[in-house]
Amino acid sequence: MHDLPMTPSFRVEGRRALVTGAGRGIGLAAATALAAAGASVTLCARTEKEIGQGVELLSAKGYRADALCLDVTDLGAVSAAIDAAEPFDILINNAGTNRPKPMVDVTLDDYEAVMGLNVRSAFFMVQAVARKLIEVGRSGSIINMSSQMGHVGSARRSLYCASKWAMEGFSRACAIEFAPNGVRVNTLCPTFIETPMTKSFFENKEFKADVLSRIKLGRLGTVEDLMGAIVFLSSDASSLMTGSSLIVDGGWTAD
């Protein structure tokens, strides 16, 4: 009689996780999910008050959490902060922005703001975290927060799509490069999630109706819809996944 296979653990005890854009929304949800799964979590954002409040809430639950006040667009500061810290086993590369408008109205300032945060900063955050892991010979899981818009196009989102398609590309290349070192790189690709950043978009009833018509499950996403996926990609349960995109979109991209 054969023994039954064992389900790999979804727990991440003993691991250090860095979450960027962690002051609210998806970032705070990611930090909460990983802390509840046993990780020691560092909440990173440029708004000290928000991440401080997040640390207080997590600590009150008995979770291990601390704050790193950092502007991730300051690449020198990023490099120095990661070099000074103990290696992070998990990175949730979540800081990002969007400026929806018709392509013909996109300004140079719009381009630099969106591509600067969503691509430039995200790229060099991966580099800093992965370099430290490789230097000390540790495996790890890097999760770049992409979007369904990294797989499709959409009106008024040419710039955002460009940034997320770029993220999808560099994530796959990094996955290939880092695989011999046991550092996995995947993307998480949500549909429209109700967060402080997206709240203003849905004040437009026509836009909201159009979005809901494209999400086959008929509702907007919530941050809770992403928390299980974040733990999965961070844990040994996804140990054979690298260079992949986990699309949590309610069926948007199924067409």
Class of 16-246 in CATH: alpha beta
For the record, the structure tokens of 158 come out as: 């040419």
Q: In this predicted model, what pLDDT tens digit does every residue of 19-58 receive, in sequence order?
A: 999 999 999 999 999 999 999 999 999 999 999 999 999 9
pLDDT-derived band at 130 (thresholds 50, 70, 90) equals very high
Residues 6+ apart with CB under 8 A from 48: 67, 69
Q: In this predicted model, what pLDDT tens digit does every residue of 175-217 receive, in sequence order?
A: 999 999 999 999 999 999 998 778 888 999 999 999 999 999 9
Candidate list 63, 160, 178, 192, residue with the active-site label = 160
How high is the mean pLDDT of the chain? Answer: 97
Residues 6+ apart with CB under 8 A from 249: 148, 189, 190, 191, 215, 221
pTM for the whole structure: 0.97
The kind and range of the H/E element at 186 are: strand 183-190
Return the pLDDT at 149: 98
Please give the average per-residue pLDDT across 227-239, as a whole number: 98
* CB contact at 8 A, 27 and 21: yes
pLDDT-derived band at 224 (thresholds 50, 70, 90) equals very high
- Catalytic site residue 160? yes
Cα(226)–Cα(189) distance, rounded to whole angstroms? Answer: 9
